[in-house]
């Protein structure tokens, strides 16, 4: 009789995952690489803009220099299991946030459906709808807010 294998994100905590498992949680939406604004009156509210980090490829939603990103963007946030309690700023669709909160991955996630393009096909990513960081003046970022968390 065949044994049913439970997916690693359902049976492991973020701390228990190896590097490959951890990296595979990223669905490639690129939303975490969009510029964000904090609400001055409510520091727990974060507004996402359609303005992409200078390293984000606007078509693929992938970092153009992931291994060296912190050299080019010193304030790039590196997600770690130790910082999981602070993942509330991530989009509600983010696998890191979902797993940290004990939730399952959505059906369009590449680990679930097997299609790395599903995140784009379903419209979760902002592929083709983002703006390059240098193309918008800082004072105009509010004009490009797309959602808040």
Task: Tell me what pLDDT residue 114 has.
Answer: 97
Q: How far apart are CA 14 and CA 84, in angstroms?
A: 8
In tens, the pLDDT along 85-111 reads 888 999 999 999 999 999 999 999 999
Q: Is the pLDDT of residue 27 over 80?
A: yes
DSSP string, 33-75: GEEEEE-SS-TT-EEEEEEEPTTB-TTT-SBTTGGGHHHH-TT
Tokens of 58: 């606007």
Whole-prediction pTM: 0.90
Task: Tell me what pLDDT residue 1 has.
Answer: 65
Q: What is the largest CA-CA distance in the chain?
A: 63
Range with top average pLDDT, 36-50, 76-90, 129-143: 129-143
H-assigned helices in the chain? 8-11, 19-24, 69-72, 95-100, 110-113, 118-121
Task: Tell me what pLDDT residue 142 has.
Answer: 95
Among residues 113, 106, 16, 26, the alpha carbon closest in space to that of 62 is found at 26
Q: Is the pLDDT of residue 9 over 90?
A: yes
Confidence band of 4 (pLDDT split at 50, 70, 90): confident
């Amino acid at each position: 009789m065949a044994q049913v294998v439970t997916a690693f994100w359902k049976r492991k905590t973020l701390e228990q995952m190896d590097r490959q498992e951890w990296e595979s949680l990223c669905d490639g939406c690129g939303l975490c690489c969009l510029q964000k604004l904090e609400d001055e009156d409510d520091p727990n509210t974060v507004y996402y803009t359609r303005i992409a980090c200078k390293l984000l490829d606007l078509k693929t939603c992938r970092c153009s220099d992931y291994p060296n990103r912190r050299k080019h963007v010193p304030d790039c946030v590196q997600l770690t299991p130790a910082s999981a309690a602070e993942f509330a700023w991530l989009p509600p669709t983010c696998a890191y946030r979902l797993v940290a909160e004990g939730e399952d991955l959505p059906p369009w996630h590449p680990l679930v459906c097997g299609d790395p393009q599903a995140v784009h096909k379903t419209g979760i990513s902002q592929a083709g709808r983002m703006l390059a960081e240098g193309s918008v003046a800082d004072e105009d970022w509010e004009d490009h807010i797309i959602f808040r968390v």
